[in-house]
């Protein structure tokens, strides 16, 4: 991921990989008792060289695939730059199945939902990109804001304990442990919206769609052929679920029927969903990412195909349901 943006008004929270040039601001923000006292490994005062060392280690970890640390940034200012307001990251265990989540938001940016947005964004990215299945987090018992962030993000509390915090010598700080799984996130994203108004009786249509991503990071779009509804628009391969079929099984079937490729259910990762009211039905469409398949995608139903760079998706007219997915893909990939 080069960068990734959330545009959930009124907060705009962006994550981008942390870089050496962030050291001075990192130090300025973290060197605050109200931050250091909540982080097990942060001394207070926080020495400037430690900020540089921490970032160097983060960059080495990223290169080795051990951990992925991001700068949390705010909405662009009038000059277009995005100021760093905190840090969030995932550290994988040896098996690659589990990751530990860590994050902090500078005091000047508290109370605006940045922590929750950053955590949700990082989880979606991690579950889509890293192949991990479970994320754990440990939070000081007196860190009310962080406890709320994890609970609202869908984490389950798994236990309590005591840990050393460098900034609080002589005590073993009471902590709470949390965990969330890939399935929890998929369920959370697919959770029903609030009940529709009584006069809205449109049937719900469940469609599974997939962004196939090739080695150069391009996404496959298919053009709806003449004669179909929304003809001429570009869409993600996929289709309606047959009765009793899971979205993953529907994708495996549709990708074979439409493109002649073989995909395993284990190779499709849930990424986002579209929920859109068309005339006559309400579309609920989970979008999966897939980077591994067998065969070469071919047009089996007369549809034109195009491999599109994520930054150019906007140049391809897509159904209205797909439009909110474009910035997510552009910023994730």
Ligand X SMILES: Nc1nc2c([nH]c(=O)n2[C@@H]2O[C@H](COP(=O)(O)OP(=O)(O)OP(=O)(O)O)[C@@H](O)[C@H]2O)c(=O)[nH]1
| Binding footprint of ligand X on the chain (CB under 6 A) | 207, 209, 228-230, 235-236, 238-240, 283, 285, 319, 321-322
Q: Mind giving me the DSSP string for 167-182?
A: TSTT-EEEEEEEEEEH
| Ligand-binding site membership of 192 (annotated) | no
Beta strand 219-223 pairing with 172-181: unpaired
Residue 270's DSSP bridge partners are 288
Burial of 329 (0-12, 13-18, 19+ CB in 10 A): buried
CB nearer to ligand X: pick between 126 and 319: 319
Q: Is 320 annotated as a binding residue?
A: no
| Residue 183 labeled ligand binder | no
Q: Does the annotation place 44 within a ligand binding site?
A: no
| Residue among 60 and 306 whose Cβ is closer to ligand X | 306
Whole-angstrom distance, CA of residue 94 vs CA of residue 97: 8
Smallest distance, ligand X to C-beta of residue 202, A: 13
Is 113 marked as binding a ligand?
Answer: no
Q: What are the residues whose beta carbons fall under 8 Å from the beta carbon of 163, sequence distance 6 or more?
A: 40, 138, 172, 173, 175
Rounded CA-CA distance 205/278 in Å is 10
Nearest CB to ligand X, comparing residues 74 and 258: 258
Measured from the CB of residue 243, what is the shortest distance to ligand X in angstroms?
14
CB of 294 to ligand X, least distance (A): 21
Q: Which is nearer to ligand X, 170 or 244 (CB)?
A: 244
The least distance separating ligand X from the CB of residue 233, rounded to whole angstroms, comes to 8
Residue with the closest Cβ to ligand X? 239
- Name 67's bridge partners: 91
Feature table: binding site for 8-oxo-dGTP: 224, 235-238
């Amino acid at each position: 991921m080069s960068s990734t943006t959330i545009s959930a008004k009124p907060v705009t929270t962006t994550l981008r990989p942390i870089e050496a040039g962030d050291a001075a601001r990192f130090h300025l923000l973290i060197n605050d008792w109200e931050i250091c006292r909540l982080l097990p490994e942060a001394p207070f005062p926080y020495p400037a060289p430690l900020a540089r060392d921490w970032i160097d280690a983060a960059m080495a970890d990223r290169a080795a695939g051990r951990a992925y640390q991001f700068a949390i940034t705010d909405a662009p200012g009038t000059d277009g730059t995005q100021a760093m307001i905190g840090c969030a990251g995932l550290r994988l265990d040896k098996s690659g199945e589990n990751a530990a989540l860590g994050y902090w938001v500078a005091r000047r940016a508290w109370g605006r939902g940045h922590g929750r947005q950053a955590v949700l964004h990082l989880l979606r990215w991690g579950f889509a990109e890293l192949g991990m299945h479970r994320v754990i987090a440990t939070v000081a018992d007196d860190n009310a804001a962080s406890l709320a962030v994890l609970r609202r993000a869908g984490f389950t509390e798994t236990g309590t304990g005591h840990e050393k915090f460098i900034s609080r010598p002589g005590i073993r700080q009471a902590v709470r442990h949390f965990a969330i799984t890939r399935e929890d996130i998929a369920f959370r994203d697919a959770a029903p919206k609030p009940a529709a108004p009584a006069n809205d009786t449109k049937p719900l249509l469940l469609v599974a769609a997939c962004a196939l991503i090739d080695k150069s990071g391009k996404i496959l779009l298919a053009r709806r052929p003449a004669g179909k509804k929304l003809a001429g628009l570009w869409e993600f391969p996929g289709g309606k679920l047959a009765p009793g079929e899971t979205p993953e099984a529907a994708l495996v079937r549709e990708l074979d029927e439409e493109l002649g490729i073989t995909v395993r259910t284990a190779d499709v990762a849930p990424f986002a969903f579209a929920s859109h009211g068309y005339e006559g039905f309400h579309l609920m469409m989970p979008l999966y990412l897939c980077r591994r398949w067998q065969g070469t995608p071919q047009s089996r139903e007369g549809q034109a195909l195009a491999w599109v760079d994520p930054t150019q998706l906007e140049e391809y007219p897509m159904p209205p349901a797909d439009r909110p997915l474009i910035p997510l893909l552009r910023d994730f990939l």
